[in-house]
Every structure is written in structure tokens, then in C-alpha cells.
Amino acid sequence: MYTWGYIKENVLSKLNLSEEAANQQGFLSRFPYLANEAMTQICSSIKPKETFFIIEVLDKEQAWKNLTNEFNIYVGQHIQSEEDVEDSEFNEAFWEKWRSLHFTYEPITLPDDFISFCDDKIEYKGYYDSVFSEVGDEKLQYYGYNQIICKDIGIYKVPYNARWFFFTKDLENNFVLPVPADILDAITSYIVSQCFKIDDEAKSAIYRNEYEMFLARIDDTTFKSQRTLTISGGW
């Protein structure tokens, strides 16, 4: 696995600059932003991270009763909003937990690393079910580009395509990046091409072509199914 320090050193070697010189020219601070640009391009078109968003969906009125009881707050049976309540008993811990809950027939937003929905089926398990089962529009619907609306209470397992990682300016050099090496190799060339783009179009084009070559070699295989197909009848 590559570290952030390794990626930086690789970029600097292709730029033929020291870290100090790259910092003086304003390149170093741009590395995380350029890396995120390339990451979005790669994840949206070639090799996303396939993951799951597992959520528990509740009935809103019942959840309000349960949570007010948990915090020993009595305000009647009607749900209230933060703007409407002045009672000091409604502390930040209560509202923080309330905001973290998901309810039926309300839009539920997927995590920040969301890129797109994938072709795999959403799975659902009711409170009296022992296993998950695949479901369709009888249980939920897609809403907007990154939201779903669930129709029944229970646990939903939502597959989606995600970013592998989001780069920030405060990354330590020894931080191991949880990203496939073929993607990081491509990102390195993209950063170099963008840095050269300002003053040297020829070199920028060279590394842009290198970036395109890395993209073509990225392994875009997805998860392998462990299921087996058995045909009866002596075939």
C-alpha cells in the first residue's frame, strides 16, 4: 500500500522539484485538490469502491416517543422541531441523536463518499425476519441523485458506488492510503500534468497521456459472487 508521502515524492520526482521549491511555486498545496479531481473521474467512470449503506428505518412518531422517554422528557405526543422548542430539557445530545435517525417516507441521504447507485439489489430485513431479502419498489424508491425513500420500518442494506478516499491538506506523510495501487499511479500522473499545465504545455501533454495509459490499465473488476448454480435432472 502506498503512503501519502510516497505519492508526494513520486510527483516531486516527475516535476524535478524539491518539496521546498514546489511549495514556493504553489504546487504542493494543490496536490490534495488535484488528487480529488482524479479520484472523482476514476470512481465515476472506471473503478468505484463498491460498498453498502446499512440503515435502520423507524416510524417517526414511535421514535419520538421512545427518544423522549429515553431522555426523560415529557412534551406530549406531538413531534416538535428545534425551532419550536425553548425547553432547556431539550439538550444538544437529544437533538443530535434525533437528527441521526431515519424515518419512513422521508428522504434519506447516502454518505458523503457516494458517487452513484450500482446495479446490485437493495436488501431488506424486517424486525421479525431472520435474514435479508432482495426488494424492489414495493419497499423503497430512489429520490434525487443520492437519496432514497423507504416505505416500511426495518433494516435496509443499500449498495452504492463510492469514492475510495478523500484527500485533505493535513494528511501525514506516513498515512497509508486505502486505495488500490493502480488508481494511485494514475493520480500521480494527473497531478503532474496539471502542475505543468500552467507553464509547460508540452510536458503537461506527456503526463496527461501517461495518465490516460494508467486509466486504460486500471483493473475494473468488481466483487466476485460466492453463489453457485446447481442444475438438477442429471444435466
Question: Where residue 95 falls among pLDDT bands split at 50, 70, 90?
Answer: confident
According to the model, what pLDDT value does residue 192 have?
96
Given a cut of 60, whether residue 230 has pLDDT beyond it is: no
**Amino acid residing at 31:** F
According to the model, what pLDDT value does residue 173 have?
93
Domain boundaries, the chain: 4-48+166-217, 49-162
The answer to whether the CB of 143 falls within 8 A of the CB of 149 is yes
Given a cut of 70, whether residue 20 has pLDDT beyond it is: yes
Per-residue pLDDT reduced to its tens digit, 46-88: 999 999 999 999 999 999 999 888 888 776 666 766 655 665 5
Q: Sort 186 into a burial class: Cβ within 10 Å, 0-12 / 13-18 / 19+.
A: buried
Strand partners, 103: 58
Take residue 189 and report the three cell numbers written for it.
500522473
Angle subtended at Cα 116 by Cα 124 and Cα 225, rounded to the nearest 5 degrees: 55
Take residue 220 and report the three cell numbers written for it.
475494473
Question: Where residue 94 falls among pLDDT bands split at 50, 70, 90?
Answer: confident
Per-residue pLDDT reduced to its tens digit, 170-220: 999 999 999 999 999 999 999 999 999 888 899 999 999 999 999 998 876
- pTM value is 0.80
According to the model, what pLDDT value does residue 72 have?
81
Strand partners, 149: 141
Q: Sort 164 into a burial class: Cβ within 10 Å, 0-12 / 13-18 / 19+.
A: buried
Take residue 48 and report the three cell numbers written for it.
468505484
According to the model, what pLDDT value does residue 84 have?
59
Which has the closest alpha carbon to 142: 126, 153, 158? Answer: 158
